[in-house]
Amino acid sequence: MSPMEEGKELKELNTFGISAKCREFKRISSLEEAMDFFKESHATPLLILGGGSNILLRNDYDGIVVWNDIKGISIVEEDDASVLIKANAGENWHQFVMHCIDHGFAGIENLSLIPGKVGASPMQNIGAYGVEVKEVIEAVEAVSIKGGELRIFSNEECEFDYRSSVFKTSLKGKFFITSVSFRLQKKPTFKTSYGAIQDQLEIMGIAETELSIKAISDAVIAIRSSKLPDPAKIGNSGSFFKNPIVSAEVYQIMQQKHSNIPAYEAKDGKFKLAAGWLIEQAGWKGYREGDYGVHDKQALVLVNHGKASGEEIYQLSEKIIGSIQDKFGITLEREVNIIGSGETN
């Protein structure tokens, strides 16, 4: 079992590149180590950290940061039509997607280049270009943070919703995800109608007869790379805000005032508005003050140009939320988890 570290710097473990320290740091690299660690009683607060791609540290963390570094990918069962593949939570998400594409396993190619680790995928029900990970998750293995008991969650028990799951709602902070099992297909159903995938495929010269999960992945990677900054070059956590979901009545009012507003049909007759468009219309795209700001190509992304503090970025998000509320009457919600200063959303 790896030892505890004191006062560890977390800058390299969060994609915003925020300089912050924790009181203690614990690296967990196996299911058994997770069960043993959580069997013990821990008086100080715990922060579970995977890829650090969906958090904003407002200040130092006065507790134990538990880093999920459990690796491994294996096939649980397989037949002519599909494969059940188990990925441990510490695996890099994009590398896992590439592994599946290399083996001809379809279903997550539209989720290429999403930052973070496998363990975060069910927690926030990651989604992009017309696909949500809930569509392919069969089971989630997790260890209770109080007691260390192992539990297997079925897809239904995960209570998936838009960018959410039971792990972000009623069971938030109660389980440490150790692996996720995905049901992927050997005969793909291509999804190219969402966003600019079809246009990108045409730019790449991919004819319909040449379509493959690799081609779709390449198209998604090209689109995301053109719009979203690489965290290795400029600190960010990808989409900072959720796309707001509104009633049909609110959408009609918005459309009457703004005929070009991008929107997509959601469930129960509601509509999903593009948060990035709202933020851009409010004049925030490319905004910069000191070392923090809004990306100049994608208004949905807040960035750290070098030495910004987590508090500065948080206060910027507050200003943007207030601005959108004033201009459109729409309340934006953060997709990123805020850590510190009593804020946990």
Q: Give the Cα separation of 240 and 301 in Å (integer).
A: 6
Q: Which helix (H) or strand (E) holds 150?
A: strand 150-154
Of the chain, the end-to-end C-alpha distance in Å amounts to 32
As a 3-state breakdown, the chain gives helix, strand, coil percent values, each rounded to 5, of: 30, 30, 45
Using the structure block, give the residue that is written with the tokens 């910027």: 316
Q: Give the Cα separation of 105 and 79 in Å (integer).
A: 12
Q: Which residues participate in catalysis according to the annotation?
A: 163, 239, 335
Using CA atoms, how far residue 218 sits from 104, 221, 223, 241, 339, in Å, is 14, 5, 9, 25, 34
Give yes or no for a contact between 186 and 104, defined as CB atoms under 8 angstroms apart: yes
Q: Give the Cα separation of 187 and 77 in Å (integer).
A: 16
Give yes or no for a contact between 97 and 112, defined as CB atoms under 8 angstroms apart: yes
Q: Give the Cα separation of 198 and 206 in Å (integer).
A: 9
Residue 279 identity: I
Residues 6+ apart with CB under 8 A from 232: none
Q: Give the Cα separation of 270 and 249 in Å (integer).
A: 9
Give yes or no for a contact between 177 and 167, defined as CB atoms under 8 angstroms apart: yes
Using CA atoms, how far residue 64 sits from 132, 221, 235, 320, 321, in Å, is 31, 35, 23, 31, 31
Q: Give the Cα separation of 63 and 337 in Å (integer).
A: 17
